[in-house]
Chain A
Amino acid sequence: MASLEVAKEVKKPKPLSTNSAVAYAVKDLDVDVVSAYPITPQTTVVEKIADFIANGELDAEMIHVESEHSALSAAIGAAATGARTFTATASQGLALMHEILHIASGMRMPIVMSVAMRALSAPISIWNDHSDVMNARDAGWIIYFVSSAQEAYDTIIQAFKLAEDPDILLPVMVAYDGYVMSHTIEPVITEDRDEVLKFAPKRPFPYRLDPDNPVTMGPIADPNWFYEIKYQQVMAMERALEKAREIDEEFRKTFGRGYGIYECFMCDDAEALIVAKTSYAATLKTILPKMWEKGYKVGLLRLRLYRPFPVEDFKNILDKVDAVLVIDRAISYGAPLQGPLAMEFSSLIVKEDLKLNLTSVVAGIGQRRMIDSDFENLVKLAWESRTKKYDRTIFYGVRL
């Protein structure tokens, strides 16, 4: 990409972990209030932000709350008052926030939250999988999965622009792999604050708590009103799809980097696809070229914008292949397919009357090791599934 070359010429990348990259984005967005509670592996996001504030590089109020429940509650209070507000969490913290997740979206609060994804207890595991975010997927938040530290930095900026758009006004989660991404260093280009703020100028909540224009927020809605208010959320979420696409396009024009709302890698002429996200998608991008040389024409559909789900785009992509293999890093116990994402693709296939085989694979639970040869196995499995049906979810790598 020529524009990327240009950007690299002027800007020297910094060696940053994804957590640090998120903190840099928060600084460059001139966030006003940060409300967060420590939890592994999210902690270094907040530590880095604290450093920025302590050194005068960011002027923000940091609320050292006593729980994640209070972290998001305080974030709602701040956003409702008109502050640009950020929080971050993972795992048990996201689970403890669960009640308030729904309230944040129901009250249409433009809060942005990063999630360094981690398994949910029990047994307690501090390691990475996607149980936490999948458990929160129906809370009405816009959800991004990002695959690199650079994409995390860029997406936090896009997320604020999307959240604060008066036509959207929804909270946004930006999720990435705990440890595998949160604690590994990659080169990241950060932008000048002025440029970032020009791209994503602050748009305080339009109906904020203002004594000159008093509003009542969070009232009780009886059966005669509740449904319509929830349906407004449905419509806002639908609008968010095209808005997210536009914002990414504008980001590409401004900063020379763009991702779309999903990524299709080696999809031309592919006969089967693997659906993956975050670091697994990044790893697969290094595996697939080698596998094509061996005759496995398997492409990668990398999930980036997860809520709202890019239905039309995915339909057109799936329509061209004979098989799709969906990797889930969470378990939906007792469900028809135990991979929650596989179930969503399955319903897409039925809904759009597509003719292809779907294979559900659960892998990497609690950060069970997945190395190149494992991904090669999955590519082979995807290839085989063109002609072979796997009716049950495959729990890859589990000891039986």
Chain B
Amino acid sequence: MSTKLYRSLFDFPREERFVSGHRLCAGCTIGPVMRLLTKIAGKDAIIVNATGCLEVSSTPYPYTSWRNPWIHVAFENAGAVASGVEAAIKMLKKKGMLNKDIKVIAIGGDGGTVDIGLQALSGMLERGHKVMYVLYDNEAYMNTGIQRSGATPYGAWTTTTPAGKVWRGEWRPKKDIDAIVAAHRVPYVATASPAYPIDLANKFKKALDYLEEGPTFVHVLIPCTTGWRFDPSLGIKLARLAVETGMWILYEIDHGTFRVTYPVKKRKPVKEYLKPQGRFRHLTEEEIEKIQKLVDQEVERINKIVGKEVIGPVA
């Protein structure tokens, strides 16, 4: 693939397509990600949005933040709606009723993607619809008030996995949605972070360029000031700490080839990532140690896949 990659922030298109006035929380990291996504996608892209924070915050009737054609139908069906849009474009072009190349982008949160929307997503991937799916993952049902989802990490407090005398926050590990998507043998799967905009932009760009071959998937970790309980000024810093501690590994699976796009020579201890967040405040030293071990295991697994040490030990 001959995707021309971005080298600096100055390479990004100047045009604004996700505009101000939306009702996202102060400090929410979805806004900048959508701004970047729409810049890279450009004018000729239709956006399908699952129900969620982004959808309710960006389209309070009669206002909208979207300069692209945009549709929301329900929570669990962004994959199916996007399939319909893509099929329609294909047939209308074939019949001469449409003379334009239009890309289709589906966007869903973690609940709308890994839980209730998994079936529609799998159908879309399996049928090979040329849709780029962006998962913005804030690791719980934030729009309804911080209930746990399949993407909530081990140990995290949520309103349905509270920390009490018996329960100590979420007790199950985060669902590996990227492996599930990759199992559909799609041309491109990537994880990304708003703290690494060049890496993020290039992943969006590749995912859009590869659409000629089939569906693509980009999974972005979205620090959530209200749900993770941190100061609104710290969103990007936490996104970076997630990567630096190995809690969130930036990689891509390009035509089956796994590559870590941001190697970390020396990891910071997970404690540095957990400490600023209220959702982990209840954790004891032993419990933090357990999370450290889980991360160590995951790093080992990733290094094994790559065949060398791309993510180093805790410094």
Interface residues, chain A, with chain B CB atoms under 8 Å away? 32-33, 35, 59-61, 63-67, 69-71, 73-83, 85, 99-100, 103, 107, 202, 204, 209-211, 214-222, 225, 229
List, in ascending order, chain A residues with CB within 8 A of B84's CB.
33, 35, 63, 73-81, 85
Determine if B83 and A65 form an interchain contact, defined as CB atoms under 8 angstroms apart: yes
* B-chain residues with CB within 8 Å of residue A81 when the two chains form the complex: 46, 84-85, 88-89, 92
B100 partner residues in chain A, CB cutoff 8 A: 211
Give Cα distance in the complex from A355 to B53, angstroms. 55
Complex interface bits, B58-100 against A, C-beta within 8 A gives 1, otherwise 0: 0111101011111111101101111111111111101101101
Apart from A215-B69, A219-B72, 5 more pairs, CB < 8 Å: A63-B84, A67-B123, A85-B84, A100-B73, A218-B59
Chain B interface, >50% SS class: mixed
Q: How far is the CB of A61 from chain B (nearest CB, A)?
A: 4
Q: How far is the CA of A59 from the CA of B97 in the complex (A)?
A: 13
Q: Return B144 CB to nearest CB of chain A, in Å.
A: 14
Determine the chain A residues whose CB is within 8 A of the CB of B76 once the complex forms: 69
Given A61-B87, A76-B81, A81-B92, A220:B60 Cβ within 8 A = yes
In contact, B88 and A218 (Cβ under 8 angstroms): no
The distance in angstroms between the C-alpha atoms of A85 and B48, with both chains bound, is 18
Q: Does B255 contact A (CB under 8 A)?
A: no
Q: Is the beta-carbon distance between B69 and A211 smaller than 8 angstroms?
A: yes
Contact with B80, one of A73, A107, A209, A221 (Cβ below 8 angstroms): A73
B234 sits at the interface (CB 8 A)? no
Residues of B within 8 A of A229 (CB): 61
Are A209 and B123 within 8 A (Cβ)?
no
Measured in the bound complex, the distance between the Cα atoms of B87 and A76 in whole Å is 11
Residue B44 lies at the interface, judged by CB distance under 8 Å to chain A: yes
When chains A and B are docked, how far (Å) is the Cα of A74 from the Cα of B119? 13
A202 to B120, CA, bound (A): 29
The contact of B69 among A63, A70, A107, A210, by CB within 8 Å, is: A210
CB distance from A169 to the nearest CB of B (A): 15
Q: Does B236 lie at the interface of the complex (its beta carbon under 8 Å from any beta carbon of A)?
A: no
Q: Which B residue sits closest to A221, measured CB to CB?
A: B61
**Residue of A whose beta carbon sits closest to that of B64:** A216
| Contact yes or no, A70 B62, CB < 8 A | no
CA distance A77 to B90 in the complex (A): 13
B83 touches A77 (CB 8 A): yes
Top 7 A-B pairs ranked by shortest CB distance? A77-B84, A74-B84, A70-B80, A219-B59, A81-B88, A73-B77, A66-B123
Contacts of B91 in A (CB 8 A): 32-33, 59-61, 83
Q: Decide yes or no whether B275 CB sits under 8 A from chain A.
A: no
> Does B56 sit within 8 A of A, measured CB to CB?
yes
B127 on interface, CB distance cutoff 8 Å: yes
Q: Are B74 and A73 in contact (CB under 8 A)?
A: yes
Please tell me if B237 contacts chain A, counting CB pairs below 8 Å.
no
Cα-based distance from A229 to B55 in the complex (angstroms): 19
